[in-house]
Amino acid sequence: MKLITNSDRVQGSRRLDDAENEFLIAHELNSTNVDPLLNLTALYLDENEADRAVATGQKAVKANSRSAPAFFSLGVALYKAAQLDNAEAALKRALDWLRRWRMCD
């Protein structure tokens, strides 16, 4: 069993900061691509930063209002932020878009 030291925590924190910066740069380079925003939302959720996850999820939905993954990501963030009515609405929108895609196949 490996003990986690303060050095490990600092190094892990730097990696998260680096990842966050890379996702922000990727979004700036192509603001219509929701993938960097989805990755940022997941990163913030992993770090228990629900408010930041919600804000980033909202940006993802704004970038692509027909993205089932964007609505799903937002729904999870809203759920973690205890905004249950809004989470339900976002998750239903994700399902609606997913059903539409499947009908087109």
Domain boundaries, the chain: 8-104
* Residue 6 reports pLDDT greater than 80: no
Q: Three-class SS of residue 62?
A: helix
Summarize the confidence of residues 22-36 as an average pLDDT.
90
Provide the pLDDT for residue 3: 40
Summarize the confidence of residues 48-66 as an average pLDDT.
96
Provide the pLDDT for residue 105: 59
* 32 Cβ neighbours under 8 A, 6+ residues apart: 63, 64
Cβ proximity of 33 and 26 under 8 Å:
yes
CA distance 25 to 61: 18
Q: In 1-105, which residue ranges form alpha helices assigned H by DSSP?
A: 6-29, 35-46, 50-63, 68-80, 84-104
CA dihedral 13→15→16→20, nearest 10 degrees, is: 140
Q: Provide the token pair at 24.
A: 């922000």
* pTM across the whole model: 0.81
Domain 8-104 coded CATH 3.30.70.2500: no
Percentage of the chain with pLDDT > 90? 65
